A = this chain, B = another copy of it.
C-alpha cells in the first residue's frame, strides 16, 4: 500500500503558495486523501508521484494524453520545432499546414482557428455564433461543462448576473426540452451547444440518441442558429474529425482541445462557410496562440493516430477494462454502473447513494497503483496496452477485496 508523505508536505506548502492549494480541475482536495496532488514523472500510460510510487493513470491528464505521455514521435517533432521557432512575431507556416489538415479531416470544416484552451475554443464558437446571427441567446445543456470563463464556469463565485444573461437550458437527449428552449429564445437564438455525449460529473454518462442529434441539427437549420459541438474533451478519441460524425450529424462550429496535440497546449475551432463571416468579424487572440511547437506536435499527433491505429487501440483497451472491472465486481459481490463510451469510462457502484463504496474503492485502487477518479469520466490512452490493462485489473482486485471486507 502506497504512502505519500512527500506529497502531503508539498500540499501543505501549496496551501500558502496558491490561494488555497492547487485550484481547478486538478485539485486533489476533491478526491480521496490517498490521491497524490503532485507528480514527478509521466510516461506512456503511467505516472510517478513524488514519493516514488508508480500508477497506471486512467485520467490521462484529464484527456490531454491520447497516444501516451512523452510519445517519441510527437516530442521529436516538438523539440525540433522548438529549436526553429515557437512564439514569434508571426506564426510559422505550420499553422497554415495544420489548419488545412483540420479542414481536410473534419467533415464540416471549411476553416479552422487555433487557441490555447478549451474555454478559448468554446468562447470563440459562442462569439462567432453571435456575430453571425446578430442574436444573443445561447442554449446549453443543464449540468454540462463548457469551460471556466464567467459565462460558463460551474461555480458562481466571481460571476456577475450579467455574465449569465441570454442563456437557456435543455436536458441532454430530451428533444422536447430542447424544443421548448428554442421556442423560448424566439427570434434571438444564436446557438445551441451540445457535448458529444453527456459527460457531466457525478451522474451516469449518456451517448446521444440519433433522434436527439438530428433534432438539434434540424432546430439550428430552421432557425439559422449555430450548432456548436463542444468536443474539447472528446476530440480524436472516437474519430479523426468532430465526434458527432460517428452519429451522422455535423455541427456548424466545433471546439476541440485536450488531446489534439497529445499534451501540447492547443485548442481548435473548426467551422463551416455559413459561419465564416461571423468568425472573420470577431476579435479574438492570445499571446501564445500562434506558437509553432504545438502546431508541430498536433501534426505529429494526427500522423501517429493514423499510423498506430490509436483510436481502435483505445476502444479495445477501454472494452477490456470495462469487461474486466465488471467481472471483478461480480466476483466480489458488487454491481457496477459503467456508463458512457468505454474510451472515456465513468465507473459508479449500484446501491451506493452516499458514495461510500465508490470513495472507498477508488482510494484503495490508488494505493495499489491504479489512478481512478471517483466522479469524473476517465480516459484511456493508446499506451494502455492489453498488458497494462491486465496489470491494472490485477492491482484492482485487491481494492475489490478490501471493499468486500468493508461492505460485503
Binding site for B on A (CB under 8 A): 10, 13-14, 16-20, 22-26, 28, 36-42, 47, 50, 57, 59-65, 69-70, 75, 78-79, 82-93, 95-96, 99-100, 103, 110-113, 116-120, 123, 126-131, 136, 148-151, 153-155, 157-163, 165-166, 232, 257-258, 263-265, 271, 276-291, 371
- Distance, CA A129 to CA B151, complexed state (A): 16
A90-B37 in contact (CB<8A): yes
Return A299 CB to nearest CB of chain B, in Å: 14
B151-A26 in contact (CB<8A): no
Contacts A13-B100, A130-B159 supplied; 16 other A-B pairs, CB < 8 Å: A17-B99, A18-B112, A20-B280, A22-B90, A25-B285, A26-B89, A26-B91, A41-B84, A42-B89, A75-B83, A86-B264, A117-B120, A128-B158, A136-B161, A153-B282, A155-B282
A100-B17 in contact (CB<8A): yes
Q: Chain B: which residue is nearest A164 at the CB level?
A: B162
A165-B155 in contact (CB<8A): no
B286-A118 in contact (CB<8A): yes
A85-B25 in contact (CB<8A): no
A sample of 5 cross-chain residue pairs with beta-carbon separation below 8 angstroms, ordered by A number, consists of A19-B271, A23-B280, A148-B286, A151-B163, A155-B281
A91-B264 in contact (CB<8A): no
A166-B157 in contact (CB<8A): no
Complex contacts, A88 vs chain B, CB 8 Å: 39, 42, 47, 57, 61, 65, 69
A111-B284 in contact (CB<8A): no
Complex contacts, A158 vs chain B, CB 8 Å: 126-131, 278, 281-282
Complex contacts, A288 vs chain B, CB 8 Å: 64, 116-117, 264-265
Complex contacts, A78 vs chain B, CB 8 Å: 82
Return A183 CB to nearest CB of chain B, in Å: 20
A119-B286 in contact (CB<8A): yes
Complex contacts, A286 vs chain B, CB 8 Å: 24, 116-119, 148
- Distance, CA A84 to CA B47, complexed state (A): 10
- Distance, CA A41 to CA B86, complexed state (A): 9
Complex contacts, A92 vs chain B, CB 8 Å: 38-40
A287-B63 in contact (CB<8A): yes
A69-B90 in contact (CB<8A): no
A263-B291 in contact (CB<8A): yes
Complex contacts, A40 vs chain B, CB 8 Å: 84-85, 92-93
